[in-house]
């Protein structure tokens, strides 16, 4: 099983760490049959539940932006996991310019600088945790 499947909803590694998403429905992290990268997310899952629109906007996934495309993976994925996933999905081995950032609970792509301020405001990180740099890294969150 690929590293990608292990961190997705219902994947073996994340389930061992407390993911509450259905394993069978999500085909052990591969996504629902016939629907590609669509997953059943349990509202109580500490890894994959995204807040609703009425909640504070927060960081929910690492992301790459290329032109008008945004490729993202939920926690606990890292930016290199998104790039690996992009390469597997597109068959490309070379990645032209892309911007690293994060996806918010409201579906917005934000760069590393804006995401740092957003994560601090949402209480996802304590300011002291990220004072050593002006950008947010996934390691600051999960």
* 133 Cβ contact list (under 8 Å, min separation 6): none
Encode pLDDT of 12-42 as tens digits: 887 887 888 888 887 887 777 665 556 777 7
Tokens of 117: 């301020």
| Per-residue confidence (pLDDT) for residue 1, from 0 to 100 | 44
* Separation CA 66–CA 100 (nearest Å): 9
> What is the distance of C-alpha 94 from the center of its chain?
22
Q: Which residues pair with 102 in a beta bridge?
A: 62, 110
pLDDT band, very low/low/confident/very high, at 101 (cuts 50, 70, 90): very high
| Per-residue confidence (pLDDT) for residue 34, from 0 to 100 | 61
> Is the predicted pLDDT of residue 80 greater than 70, yes or no?
yes
| Per-residue confidence (pLDDT) for residue 51, from 0 to 100 | 58
Q: What is the dihedral of CA 41, 51, 5, 129, to 10 degrees?
A: -150
Q: What is the DSSP letter of 48?
A: T
* Separation CA 25–CA 49 (nearest Å): 16
Residue 102 DSSP SS3: strand
Q: Which residues pair with 62 in a beta bridge?
A: 73, 102
| Per-residue confidence (pLDDT) for residue 37, from 0 to 100 | 58
Residue 33 DSSP SS3: coil
Name the residue ranges covered by the structural domains of the chain.
1-49, 59-141
């Amino acid at each position: 099983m690929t590293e990608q499947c292990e961190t997705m909803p219902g994947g073996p590694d994340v389930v061992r760490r407390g993911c509450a998403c259905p394993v069978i429905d999500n085909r052990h992290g591969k996504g629902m049959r016939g629907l590609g990268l669509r997953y059943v997310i349990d509202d109580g899952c500490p890894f994959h539940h995204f807040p609703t629109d009425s909640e504070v906007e927060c960081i929910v996934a690492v992301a790459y932006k290329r032109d008008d495309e945004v490729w993202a993976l939920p926690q606990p994925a890292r930016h290199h996991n998104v790039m690996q996933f992009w390469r597997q999905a597109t068959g490309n081995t070379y990645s032209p310019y892309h911007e690293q950032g994060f996806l918010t609970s409201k579906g917005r792509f934000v760069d590393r600088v804006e995401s740092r301020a957003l994560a601090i405001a949402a209480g996802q990180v304590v300011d002291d945790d990220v004072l050593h740099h002006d950008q947010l890294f996934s390691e600051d969150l999960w």
